[in-house]
């Protein structure tokens, strides 16, 4: 892929490298985007200045008054059109994701498929924003609860899912009657412009105002404006725990709402009865897929001593088969890390593993030579460690898999799996019903996602996605995650000529 090929992608037609556009405009410092696949310059976008941000937010506020009056199923129709357009653009957008972020083309396509899936989900949801009806304790009274649009939703996203996370938020927020302002990662700005172009076209074709969906570009500073802004009712922030803590504090100070999707430290527990073939495939995909740069990537494998040596041998053997290279070439399993900063963090982590007593089973290194000119390609690592090592307690966003042995009952493995600060995704490989049920019980995994006989990595949009503890506690995507994007109201209606008080309180005049 070269720049010529990429700029001919339809998704980038409007705003590519310019500061003009329908709903995205900016004139601040330029952000250059380089592909981690080959180090080549792809294009630039301009950062949003504070004055431009003010314009965007003012327009969003005004537009929300209009959008909230559009019936929800009609808002759903716009999301249906978005899903249709994404179906048409799947290949070009998938390619851009792969080229700008560095994940495999298959995973790039998968990301766009997730966008399509959440649009489909949101279309149905637009007719199902249900509240409850409640029996009143007072005669001649009716009670119910209902959900109203919240207002403006700010969406801050990470580089590793440069389009899907926006869609998870955008599709739900828009059918819920909110308008959205997106601050994408400064590492993948072109993916954001492409998405914005797609939705802008749909809004324009349907004579809808542009403030329904906006993008503001820039680094953490622009994210901070969103967190501080009282006009933003909900800040949905995806990224590192470090970022999440700052956003949470800032939003809490103004008693705003935040939805946080932060780092994970995901483990698979492998019990003596596990199907080892499935275990190895699940673990290897979980650890090396997206070069270990998924929030749900498998970081720890907690293996029973009876099967430990077998699992270790099979893993080392499997790692010899991993092909590393251009993610747009479907023969490769693993592409590059996002940039050289990520490569330094990977090297630092390997140093720490050794210093803290880890035994490296599969060595890591930075690849050089033909095809690896970007300097972002590394080899995946397996290290035998103990769960309490400081480095194991942290999320390193790279393909490093920690192998940890457990003895005795499965509860010991569950305790190890829970003994980290993060709580996103977890899995158990077992054919023993008792172990599986224990893992899913209140005494089991403390994560937001707990799987049986599938790995930790990836999720379907139908379920609520998110995690506990330092993962932030937010839920996005399916199930009833939509409730975060609406405000709840309880209504009591009295259709009698009397005014009885609740709890039987007497008040006569």
| Between 262 and 486, CB nearer to ligand NAD | 262
Distance CA 473, CA 484 (A): 12
Q: Which stretch binds ligand NAD (CB under 6 A): 102-110, 120-128, 260-268, 354-362?
A: 260-268
Distance CA 399, CA 393 (A): 15
Distance CA 472, CA 319 (A): 32
Interacting residue with ligand NAD among 80, 95, 103, 183 (CB under 6 A): 183
Nearest to residue 72, comparing CAs of 434, 482, 359? Answer: 482
Lateral strand order in the sheet of 486-494: 133-135, 141-149, 486-494
| Between 200 and 258, CB nearer to ligand NAD | 258
Interaction with ligand NAD in 418-447: which residues (CB under 6 A)? 424
* H-type alpha helices, 254-339: 276-288, 305-320
Interacting residue with ligand NAD among 142, 224, 312, 352 (CB under 6 A): 224
Interacting residue with ligand NAD among 54, 77, 120, 219 (CB under 6 A): 219
Among 261, 435, 470, 476, the active-site one is 261
Q: What are phi and psi of 334, to 5 degrees?
A: -135, 135
- C-beta neighbour count of 85 within 10 angstroms: 19
Distance CA 340, CA 338 (A): 7
Q: Which stretch binds ligand NAD (CB under 6 A): 48-56, 70-78, 151-159, 276-284?
A: 151-159
Interacting residue with ligand NAD among 16, 159, 377, 402 (CB under 6 A): 159
**DSSP annotation of 394:** S
Quick note: the x/- pattern for ligand NAD over 294-333, rule CB under 6 A, is -x--------------------------------------
Examine residue 24 and tell whether it contacts ligand NAD (CB under 6 A): no
**Residue nearest to ligand NAD according to CB distances in the complex:** 223
Q: Which stretch binds ligand NAD (CB under 6 A): 108-116, 232-240, 284-292, 314-322?
A: 232-240
Q: In angstroms, how far is the first alpha carbon of the chain from the final one?
A: 82
Nearest to residue 31, comparing CAs of 339, 308, 482? Answer: 339
| Between 175 and 215, CB nearer to ligand NAD | 215
Examine residue 185 and tell whether it contacts ligand NAD (CB under 6 A): yes
Quick note: the x/- pattern for ligand NAD over 370-409, rule CB under 6 A, is -------------------------x-x------------
* Residues 193 and 15: beta-carbon distance below 8 Å: yes
Q: What are phi and psi of 493, to 5 degrees?
A: -120, 130
| Between 78 and 171, CB nearer to ligand NAD | 171
Q: Residue 261 catalytic?
A: yes
Interacting residue with ligand NAD among 16, 99, 161, 406 (CB under 6 A): 161
Distance CA 338, CA 103 (A): 9
Examine residue 471 and tell whether it contacts ligand NAD (CB under 6 A): yes
Examine residue 279 and tell whether it contacts ligand NAD (CB under 6 A): no
Transcribe 80-137 into DSSP letters.
HHHHHHHHHHHHHHHHHHHHHH---HHHHHHHHHHHHHHHHHHHHHTT-----EEE-S
Examine residue 160 and tell whether it contacts ligand NAD (CB under 6 A): yes
Task: Report in angstroms how near the CB of residue 33 gets to ligand NAD at its nearest.
Answer: 14
The two tokens of residue 197 are 């172009």
SS (H, E, C) 364-375: CCECCCCCCCCC
Residues 6+ apart with CB under 8 A from 504: none
Task: Report in angstroms how near the CB of residue 361 gets to ligand NAD at its nearest.
Answer: 24
* Tokens 């349907």 sit on residue: 206
* Residues 106 and 96: beta-carbon distance below 8 Å: no
Contacts with ligand NAD by CB under 6 A: the residue count is 29
Examine residue 156 and tell whether it contacts ligand NAD (CB under 6 A): yes
Task: Report in angstroms how near the CB of residue 243 gets to ligand NAD at its nearest.
Answer: 3
Interacting residue with ligand NAD among 3, 70, 143, 220 (CB under 6 A): 220
Binding site for ligand NAD (CB under 6 A): 156-161, 183, 185-186, 219-220, 223-224, 227, 238-240, 243, 246-247, 261-264, 295, 395, 397, 424, 471
Catalytic positions are: 261
């Amino acid at each position: 892929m070269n720049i010529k090929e990429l700029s001919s992608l339809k998704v980038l037609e409007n705003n590519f490298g310019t500061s003009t556009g329908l709903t995205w405009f900016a004139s601040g410092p330029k952000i250059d985007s380089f592909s981690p696949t080959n180090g080549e310059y792809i294009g630039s976008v301009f950062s949003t200045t504070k004055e431009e941000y003010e314009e965007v937010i003012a327009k969003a506020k005004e537009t929300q008054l209009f959008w909230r009056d559009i019936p929800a199923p009609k808002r759903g129709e716009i999301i249906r059109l978005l899903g249709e357009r994404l179906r048409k653009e799947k290949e070009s957008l998938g390619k851009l994701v792969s080229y700008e972020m560095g994940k495999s083309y298959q995973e790039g396509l998968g990301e766009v498929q997730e966008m399509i899936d959440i649009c489909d989900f949101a279309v149905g949801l637009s007719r199902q924003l249900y509240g409850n009806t409640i029996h009143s304790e007072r005669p001649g009274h009716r009670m119910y609860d209902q959900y109203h649009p919240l207002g403006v939703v700010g969406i801050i996203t990470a580089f590793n899912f440069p389009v899907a996370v926006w869609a998870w938020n955008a599709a739900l927020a828009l059918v819920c009657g909110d308008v959205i302002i997106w601050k994408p990662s400064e590492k993948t700005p072109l993916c954001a412009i492409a998405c914005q172009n797609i939705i802008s076209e749909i809004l324009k074709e349907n004579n809808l105002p542009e403030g329904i969906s906006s993008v503001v570009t820039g680094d953490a500073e622009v994210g901070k404006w969103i967190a501080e802004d009282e006009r933003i009712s909900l800040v949905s922030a995806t990224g590192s725990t470090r970022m999440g803590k700052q956003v949470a504090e800032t939003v809490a100070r103004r008693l705003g709402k935040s939805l946080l999707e932060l780092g994970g430290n995901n483990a698979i527990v492998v019990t003596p009865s596990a199907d080892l073939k499935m275990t190895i495939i699940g673990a290897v995909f979980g650890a090396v897929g997206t070069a270990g740069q998924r929030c749900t990537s498998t970081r720890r494998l907690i293996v029973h001593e009876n099967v430990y040596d077998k699992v270790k041998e099979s893993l080392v053997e499997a790692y010899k088969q991993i092909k590393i290279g251009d993610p747009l070439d479907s023969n490769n399993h693993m592409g590059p890390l996002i940039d050289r900063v990520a490569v330094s963090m990977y090297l630092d982590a390997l140093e720490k593993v050794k210093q803290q007593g880890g035994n490296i089973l599969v060595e890591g290194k930075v690849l050089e030579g033909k095809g690896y000119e970007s300097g972002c390609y590394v080899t995946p690592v397996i290290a035998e460690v103990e769960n309490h090592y400081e480095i194991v307690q942290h999320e390193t966003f790279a393909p490093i898999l920690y192998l940890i042995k457990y003895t005795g009952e499965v509860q010991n493995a569950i305790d190890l799996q829970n003994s980290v600060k993060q709580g996103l995704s977890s899995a158990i490989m077992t054919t023993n019903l008792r172990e599986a049920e224990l893992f899913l019980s209140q005494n089991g995994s403390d994560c937001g996602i707990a799987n049986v006989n599938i790995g930790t990595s990836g999720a379907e949009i139908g379920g609520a996605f998110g995690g506990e503890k330092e993962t932030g506690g937010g839920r996005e995507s399916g199930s009833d995650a939509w409730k975060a994007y609406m405000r709840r109201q309880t209504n009591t209606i009295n259709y009698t000529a009397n005014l009885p008080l609740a709890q039987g309180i007497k008040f006569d005049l």
